[in-house]
Amino acid sequence: MAINFLHPYYEVLRNYDKCITCRACERQCINEVHTYLPDSSRMVCDDGKCVNCHRCVSLCPTRALKIVRSGNTYKENVNWSGRIIDEVYRQASSGGVLLSSMGNPENYPIYFDKILLNASQVTNPSIDPLREPMETKISLGAKPTDIERDENDCVKNNLPPQINLSMPVMFSAMSYGSISYNAHESLARAAEELGVLYNTGEGGLHEDFYRYGKNTIVQVASGRFGVHAQYLNSGVAIEIKMGQGAKPGIGGHLPGAKIIGDISRTRMIPEGSDAISPAPHHDIYSIEDLRQLVYSLKEVTDYKKPVIVKIAAVHNVAAIASGIARSGADIISIDGFRGGTGAAPTRIRDNVGIPIELALASVDARLRNENIRDNIAVVVGGSIRSSADVVKAIALGADCTYIATSALLALGCHLCRSCHTGKCNWGIATQVPELVKRLNPDIGYKRLVNLLTAWQHEIKEMMGGMGINSIESLKGNRLMLRGVGLNEKELEILGIKHAGE
């Protein structure tokens, strides 16, 4: 047998004083880390198989388990970190592209954490949201710039189609296939109860979920999986996915092993065939081409539904957004480099794209300078982690935010970043029936509703503190923001002052 160069990252520590050998850990670990030894009536662990998903830790009734870094180190080297050495070993052994899941975990700046919010003191008094009305509703879509009148001089209703939301948060695109049926059901039911939207992702819409149409965004991506006229008309908006924050410039690949039963039918491809989304849309090579697709989709939906164009935050994002604002799209959604994914090449995920905060600020500024800001609403995603991030994004100029990683966390995800293995112990990023059933949507949707209800309370509190009683008054209100520890250039791009100024 060849030498295994890799030492386990994690060590499963079992407190044998607490372990009652109920074997729940063994039964719940799809990676087969835990084994029961009948001879000695003891549980043992194979640390090398552990992905640190915490399923066993969370289910252990006596809290006998914890997972720690194994602590095994190479000779210290700032340049050649343990992770980099391990990756070389892995590639030398496999010859393959390294795969990763979820968002970029590397040590790049998190601008949301370097931005602080304002609060009123003495003048312009703060507002108590428990006692006074506070508005978090938003209406997403292009806004008319001119007042038009008919022959009788009456004002014409020239408002393009809008989406109405109870709060400026939506669940972003995760396809049926990349996540499970139960995860989709949880998202759909939560969106319905909350009065927000969830997004089908590029895998089509399962027939059971058409009834959540009023809370659905249907996506059209480069693979065009599951796209047909009824699908396009089933939601309240259509999203054209040009790019994804976790893997800008890259398509998608759902392995044939996951294309089974309902997923094959929903995607309209044969069972067992790989679902490969090309990197570009093969019919879009310019803004004019994009415009054609935007209008094709509007045509098929009778101009009643707004069209969203989703792009990854990349270097020329402001210029790209300016083009999209002229393409006839109603909404642009920008996905930052921290955005999650079910699988992406590690090098792409960790090295391509730019932070959403900078992308948002520059897009908003560019659209304003060109007087086309009203042509298009701006939605941002790619690691909106809390209600504070939502408030900061709105103040930086976003109309609405997209969340996905936080939603999955609410459903039980522990960010072990092994979605690409298809063996999600929490029943989220998997299609294995005995794993999928671990996510009971009755529990899942309530946790999502709880999360966003809590965020809504917090958003109201923060707005109230600033003396603002409506999300609309916060939008693009960068005077409510100050930077800490940012340099002149960063402040210039973000369009905010430094704290103390």
Partner 1 sequence: MKRVYVNEKWCLGCHLCEYHCAFADMNEKDMARALKNVKIKPKIKIEERDGVSFAVSCRHCQEPLCVKGCITGALTRVDGVVTINRDKCVNCYTCILICPYGAISSSDDGVVQKCELCIKTVVGTPACVRGCPNGAIVFEERQ
Residues binding partner 1 (CB under 8 A): 17-20, 22-24, 27-28, 41, 58-59, 61-62, 64, 433-434, 437-438, 440, 442-443
Q: For partner 1, which is the closer residue by CB, 90 or 423?
A: 423
Task: Give the nearest distance from C-beta 62 to partner 1 in angstroms.
Answer: 4
Q: For partner 1, which is the closer residue by CB, 260 or 491?
A: 260
Q: How far apart are CA 441 and CA 178, in angstroms?
A: 17
How many other CB atoms sit within 10 Å of the CB of residue 268? 14
Q: How far apart are CA 120 and CA 127, in angstroms?
A: 9
CB 228 within 8 A of CB 200: no
Q: For partner 1, which is the closer residue by CB, 62 or 316?
A: 62
Q: For partner 1, which is the closer residue by CB, 18 or 228?
A: 18
Q: For partner 1, which is the closer residue by CB, 18 or 282?
A: 18
CB 309 within 8 A of CB 289: no
Instruction: Give the residue among 154, 157, 217 at the shortest CA–CA distance from 184.
Output: 217
Task: Give the nearest distance from C-beta 49 to partner 1 in angstroms.
Answer: 19
Task: Give the nearest distance from C-beta 417 to partner 1 in angstroms.
Answer: 23
| C-alpha to C-alpha distances, 47 to 10, 87, 266, 401, nearest whole angstrom | 6, 19, 38, 39
Q: Which helix (H) or strand (E) holds 239?
A: strand 237-241
Is 315 in a helix, a strand, or coil? coil
Task: Give the nearest distance from C-beta 28 to partner 1 in angstroms.
Answer: 6
Q: For partner 1, which is the closer residue by CB, 23 or 69?
A: 23
Integer-rounded Cα Rg, in Å, for the chain is 24
Q: How far apart are CA 333 and CA 226, in angstroms?
A: 21
Where do we find the tokens 């690691």?
383
Q: For partner 1, which is the closer residue by CB, 23 or 228?
A: 23
CB 495 within 8 A of CB 368: no
Question: Beta strands 42-45 and 198-199: pairing type?
Answer: unpaired
Task: Give the nearest distance from C-beta 16 to partner 1 in angstroms.
Answer: 9
Task: Give the nearest distance from C-beta 22 to partner 1 in angstroms.
Answer: 5
Q: How far apart are CA 348 and CA 292, in angstroms?
A: 29
Instruction: Give the residue among 342, 381, 426 at the shortest CA–CA distance from 101.
Output: 342
DSSP state of 439: S
Q: For partner 1, which is the closer residue by CB, 17 or 150?
A: 17
Q: For partner 1, which is the closer residue by CB, 306 or 444?
A: 444
CB 59 within 8 A of CB 308: no
Task: Give the nearest distance from C-beta 58 to partner 1 in angstroms.
Answer: 8
Task: Give the nearest distance from C-beta 231 to partner 1 in angstroms.
Answer: 28
Task: Give the nearest distance from C-beta 26 to partner 1 in angstroms.
Answer: 10
Where do we find the tokens 């491809």?
269
Task: Give the nearest distance from C-beta 57 to partner 1 in angstroms.
Answer: 12
Is 347 in a helix, a strand, or coil? helix
Task: Give the nearest distance from C-beta 181 to partner 1 in angstroms.
Answer: 12
Is 108 in a helix, a strand, or coil? coil
How many other CB atoms sit within 10 Å of the CB of residue 152? 5
Please name the residues in contact with 349: beta carbons below 8 A apart, sequence gap of 6 or more. Answer: 100, 103, 104, 246, 247, 341
Q: For partner 1, which is the closer residue by CB, 182 or 406?
A: 182
Q: How far apart are CA 87 and CA 191, in angstroms?
A: 40
Count the alpha carbons within 13 Å of 288 in the hemisphere toward its beta carbon.
0
Q: For partner 1, which is the closer residue by CB, 20 or 97?
A: 20
Is 13 in a helix, a strand, or coil? strand
Q: For partner 1, which is the closer residue by CB, 17 or 302?
A: 17
Q: How far apart are CA 247 and CA 349, in angstroms?
A: 5
Task: Give the nearest distance from C-beta 3 to partner 1 in angstroms.
Answer: 37
The b-or-e profile of 173-200 (16+ CB within 10 A means b, else e) is bbbbbbbbbbbbbbbbbbbbbbebbbbb
Q: How far apart are CA 53 and CA 424, in angstroms?
A: 8
